[in-house]
């Protein structure tokens, strides 16, 4: 009997390996989402509890089955295997827009991993899924993430209302995407 296909394709960049989340990834996700510095950069007032992460992991694992090709990728360094965070390509809140995003551990900040992973997902979204448009959103003061989204090929599109908040909006269309090098 043939094995069931993976819920998300494995993706590789020059320095990152990305794969679907598994239930065994709980401690990685707890370490990330319970870090107040990480959550502050993501625009949240506080870190989430371990119980919140435990409840979220099954939803993360099920998302690709409901939305083929979309989901959250567990990201590790190819050289050391160390967990660095996650990258997403998913519907943005309750909208029809598909969003690229990421969340990284502080020790992975400032090394270009965010740009590398986000660019890989934008390329995958356009080249493989043939999405027409991909967006990224940030809270207004997160200039570092705004730069990452622009380096990943998205252009400043002003403001949008997502997740019940007014956020900075960045967008790219497939036919305008220049095929940036993901590393």
pTM: 0.90
> What are the sequence ranges of the domains in the chain?
11-131
Q: In this predicted model, which residue has the larger pLDDT, 145 or 44? A: 145
Give the per-residue pLDDT at 5: 53
Domain 11-131 homologous superfamily, CATH: Gcn5-related N-acetyltransferase (GNAT) (3.40.630.30)
Torsion angles phi and psi, residue 87, rounded to 5: -130, 145
Give the per-residue pLDDT at 1: 45
Residue given tokens 């991909």 in the structure block: 134
**Overall average pLDDT of the 34-49 stretch:** 83
Cβ distance 74 to 86 under 8 Å?
yes
Q: State pLDDT tens for residues 50-99.
A: 999 999 999 999 999 999 999 999 999 999 999 999 999 999 988 899 99
Give the per-residue pLDDT at 68: 94
pLDDT band at 6 (very low <50, low <70, confident <90, very high): low
Write down the mean pLDDT value for the chain.
Answer: 91
pLDDT band at 2 (very low <50, low <70, confident <90, very high): very low
């Amino acid at each position: 009997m043939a094995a069931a296909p993976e819920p998300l394709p494995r993706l590789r960049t020059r320095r990152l390996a990305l794969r679907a989340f598994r239930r065994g990834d709980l401690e990685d996700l707890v370490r990330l989402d319970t870090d107040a510095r990480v959550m502050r950069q993501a625009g949240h007032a506080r870190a989430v509890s371990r119980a919140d992460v435990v409840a979220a992991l099954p939803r993360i694992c099920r998302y690709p089955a409901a939305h083929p090709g979309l989901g959250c990728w567990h990201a590790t360094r190819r050289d050391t295997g160390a967990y660095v965070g996650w990258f997403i390509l998913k519907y943005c809140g309750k909208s029809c827009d598909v969003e690229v995003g990421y969340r990284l551990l502080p020790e992975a900040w400032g090394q270009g991993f965010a740009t590398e992973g986000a660019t890989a997902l934008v390329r995958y979204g356009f080249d493989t899924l043939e999405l027409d448009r991909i967006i990224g959103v940030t809270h207004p003061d997160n200039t570092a993430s705004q730069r990452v989204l622009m380096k990943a090929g998205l252009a400043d599109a002003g403001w949008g209302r997502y997740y019940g908040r007014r956020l900075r909006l960045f967008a790219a269309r497939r036919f305008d995407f220049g095929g940036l090098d993901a590393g």
